[in-house]
Amino acid sequence: MPVRALEFYAGIGGLHLALQRSSVDGVVVQAFDWDPAACQVYRINHPPEIIKKADISQLSAEQLAAYNADLWLLSPACQPYTVLNPNAKGAADPRAKSFLYLVQEVLPKLKEMNALPSRLLVENVAGFEVLCFCSPLDLSDIISESS
């Protein structure tokens, strides 16, 4: 049975392609991005019905649980965290809002619902795991119990 994946911040589908080219028997069942141009290109690169133009901070735990996903592929905005930008605001940047929402609100609710994905793959810039929350990103208290 293939691993069911959700792709967040899908862009043109880079993580979808990475999953396809990996040794994992996986299928992206739904992808989300807010940018219409990115969604248009995604539809060219992957089955068009998979991508949904959506504000990720508006997706509910109940909506996401319905996909019964084993894996979340996430590539949130890197601009808030890049060390190349001396004015980077980290988690205070509005572009970080939706990722924080997923981690701080949706994942705990999914844990209560016994509907957590078993794996998260987060792609971002070096240092993201520290800059995102001003301490190392640790989801072990949420994820480990469901594995």
**pLDDT tens-digit readout, 39-48:** 999 999 999 9
Q: What pLDDT, in 10s, does the model give residues 9-48?
A: 999 999 999 999 999 999 999 999 999 999 999 999 999 9
Tokens 């967040």 belong to residue = 8
Taking alpha carbons only, the member of 127, 123, 124, 122 closest to residue 107 is 122
CA distance 69 to 62: 12
Confidence of residue 97 (pLDDT cuts 50, 70, 90): confident
Phi, psi of 30 (to 5 degrees): -160, 140
Which range has the worst mean pLDDT, 6-20, 41-55, 119-133? 119-133
Catalytic choice (39, 78, 132, 134): 78
Residues paired with 120 in a beta bridge? 72
For residue 78, give Cα distances in angstroms to 17, 75, 118.
20, 8, 24
125 Rama sector, left if φ>0, alpha if ψ -120 to 50, beta otherwise: beta
pTM equals 0.83
Residue 142, domain extent: 3-146
78 is catalytic: yes
Cα–Cα distance between 42 and 33 in angstroms, integer?
10
Is residue 128 pLDDT above 90, yes or no? Answer: no
Per-range mean pLDDT, top range of 17-31, 92-106, 121-135: 17-31
Backbone φ, ψ for residue 119 (5° rounding): -140, 145
User: What percentage of the chain reaches a pLDDT higher than 90?
Assistant: 61
Residue 49: its pLDDT value, please?
97
CATH of the domain at 71: 3.40.50.150
Q: What is the mean pLDDT of residues 125-136?
A: 55
Domain tally, the chain: 1
